[in-house]
Structure 1
């Protein structure tokens, strides 16, 4: 029992330090960084990270627009390559589209290629009814027309609550910009980008995604 008390105390202290760190960095700090960097928190990868040294995406409980709760990333074998776009605020959508649209067009017809839009909702208020239902409903889209069945479809997912672990693991230091990652079939992060993509950067993303799809590891 003493041992458990020690662990609980250490966990509480760690959480306290996390909260203090978050309080020191607020909206205006993020806005200042956004203005200075144009939303580019890190430079896009020029090539795929080696599989052996690539970090695994931390398991995260997410909700689909219909309300079902699932774990992300998906089980091994359910994809070959996936683009994961992450946003904390709606203002990041334009930046994310500069990555997702070229990926969607470039990976059309590639079996096992997927595209996820992850919204991280950390606000306690927005995580309760009716706000939570409104957010989930925003991810609902009309069924695809018969001619569009084969198209690569956006898959919106949402996480409500603390996102400290995934933020730190993926280097997401600013909540006002957008982040894009390529995930392989084993849930490893093989490429990353942030902010607005240039034409050359978007082309490189597509090239890396195709390479990862072809490798299929």
Structure 2
């Protein structure tokens, strides 16, 4: 009886085995079909995201720029506290001579430069390594159309702090396109940047970052690629103040004031009041002469 039961059980298992194999094969096929479906969905999502980014670049940025005059965010009235200030994102850049570097420079580089007899806390117009400064104004742009905005910020900043210790000025160009990152366009961009370094009263370092920077854009809230951005960074690489678009007179005065505060905080000597007043008078006189010169040239001799 037991032998008969065992024989029947074996016969039943042999009958069930093909059915189990068919079920496993069917489940595997279903899994492959689901994988194909999800892959198609992922491809569709990527295409939709690419289309959205293209539309954002050509339409939304222009509309936002027109409506807000390039003001992505309002310039604050005071410095961000050092304890709460975020770090400026570190990125790989090329100097105007093509040398690679990292921005912002590490604060430890200042001690190394001081120990080797280098200039401490300042930025020169040459092609050496970047050194941290007590107050660095970083003028950032994605498009050439934002250059006049950056020059409006940097011009007033450089005139005010010309000859001051602990102050640095940077122009940071972001080139995300693949074509412009290739030869010969890359070399042409670097060559033009070297020519633009001497247009301010304060030495200016022109930096270029090639490649996508989605994470950095999100971290700095760079939502519009048509406008210009300025950031005030301390010696530790912390972001202490920021603005966007063309500066109003009040915003420019706020930048100069918070820079003086940052210099005092970082231990740099303040400019004497008499010297500051004298420099302000020279700037006003230069502005008046710049406005009157075209009129004088228009008058017949």
Matched, 1:197 2:228: no
Does the CA contact (< 8 Å) of 2:197 and 2:206 recur in 1?
no
User: What TM-score do the two structures reach when normalised by structure 2?
Assistant: 0.62
Give the total of aligned pairs: 200
Label 1:143 to 1:81 Cα distance change in 2 as closer, same or farther (>3 A). Answer: closer
Does the CA contact (< 8 Å) of 1:179 and 1:193 recur in 2?
yes
Residue number in structure 2 paired with 1:4: none
Does the CA contact (< 8 Å) of 1:81 and 1:209 recur in 2?
yes
Label 1:142 to 1:25 Cα distance change in 2 as closer, same or farther (>3 A). Answer: closer
Residue number in structure 2 paired with 1:103: 157
Residue number in structure 2 paired with 1:130: 184
- 1:32 pairs with 49, 59, 63, which one? 63
Q: Secondary structure at the match of 2:193?
A: coil
Label 1:19 to 1:52 Cα distance change in 2 as closer, same or farther (>3 A). Answer: farther
In structure 1, runs of 5+ residues without a counterpart are 1-11
In structure 2, runs of 5+ residues without a counterpart are 1-41, 111-131, 268-301
**Which structure 2 residues correspond to residues 46-195 of structure 1 after superposition, within 5 A?**
46-76=77-107, 77=110, 78-141=132-195, 152-195=202-245
Say what the alpha-carbon RMSD is for the aligned residues.
2.4
**By how many angstroms is 1:213 displaced?**
1.2
Label 1:195 to 1:143 Cα distance change in 2 as closer, same or farther (>3 A). Answer: closer
**By how many angstroms is 1:20 displaced?**
6.7
Report which of the two structures shows the higher radius of gyration computed on alpha carbons: 2
Label 1:125 to 1:196 Cα distance change in 2 as closer, same or farther (>3 A). Answer: same
Residue number in structure 1 paired with 2:75: 44
**By how many angstroms is 1:214 displaced?**
1.5
Higher relative contact order (CA 8 A, sep 6+): 1
Does the CA contact (< 8 Å) of 2:197 and 2:203 recur in 1?
no
Label 1:202 to 1:188 Cα distance change in 2 as closer, same or farther (>3 A). Answer: same
**By how many angstroms is 1:107 displaced?**
1.4
Does the CA contact (< 8 Å) of 1:58 and 1:165 recur in 2?
no
**What does the per-residue CA deviation read over 1:116-136, in whole Å, with 9 as the maximum and x for residues that have no partner?**
000000000000000000001
**By how many angstroms is 1:44 displaced?**
0.8
Matched, 1:210 2:286: no
Higher helix share: 2
Question: Moved runs in structure 1, 4+ residues, more than 6 A?
Answer: none
